[in-house]
Amino acid sequence: MKNLLLTILIFGATVSLSAQRFGYVDTDYILENLPSYNDAQQMLKTQTEQWNKEIQNRQNNANKRQADFLNEKVLLTEDQIRKEQEEIDREFREIKQIQEKRYGQDGDLIKLRKSLVKPIQDQIYVAVDEVAKKRNYGFIFDKGSDLIMVYTDPKFDISREVLLLLNPNAVEKPSKGNSSNSSNGRTSNSTKKSNSSGKSTSRSGSSKSNSNNLKK
């Protein structure tokens, strides 16, 4: 997901670079506030726990069979020892095969993640494209990608606008990497109102309480 918008969205290629308008989006912030993404994460977690339990049960059974075999080995014939050891080795090989199937480079987990997350990525891309064209931006960078952004002006942050296109009823969560949403240009309406008046008053008369509420 971090590379979703690492390459930039470009519009109007005939316009010179100096005339282009730049904006940015934080896909991590958007994902955190999308119920569909949170549901996908929960599905992945549930499925992973189920697979882990399946593998662990087989591992426990194989370990027990190996221990029992070692304890009873002296009572077995050479042919019985050979056959039992072959069966135990086969069980351990199957466990490794299951682990590879579930968590390998092209395993079930990666396939499931792609099937759940890819549609959400596509929706974000379409929403970013719409907002960028609406604002006449030539370039949109992803703040949540590996691209290092030394400084960002909140007025060029389209994250909230993109989020509302995807989820009009979004109840904003604080971004994990920020102590307040205002640092990303996503200050709530009540906070903006308080800042514009230059006052932090409350009906209870406690300015300290009001300050704590803003931080929350």
pLDDT in tens, 184-203: 445 444 344 444 444 434 43
Res 149: pLDDT:
73
Q: Which residues of the chain have pLDDT under 50?
A: 4-16, 18, 175-185, 187-216
Q: pTM (2 decimals)? A: 0.65
Res 186: pLDDT:
56
* pLDDT tens digits, one per residue of 109-151: 999 999 999 999 999 999 999 999 999 999 898 887 777 777 7
State the amino acid at position 83 in one-letter form: K
- The token duo for 22 is 């730049």
For the chain, the DSSP string reads -TTTTTSPEE--TTS-GGG--EEEE-HHHHHHT-HHHHHHHHHHHHHHHHHHHHHHHHHHHHHHHHHHHHHHGGGS-HHHHHHHHHHHHHHHHHHHHHHHHHHSTT-HHHHHHHHHHHHHHHHHHHHHHHHHHHHT-SEEEETTSS---S---GGGB-HHHHHHHH-TT--PPPPTT-S-GGGGT---HHHHHHHHHT----TT--HHHHHHHHH-
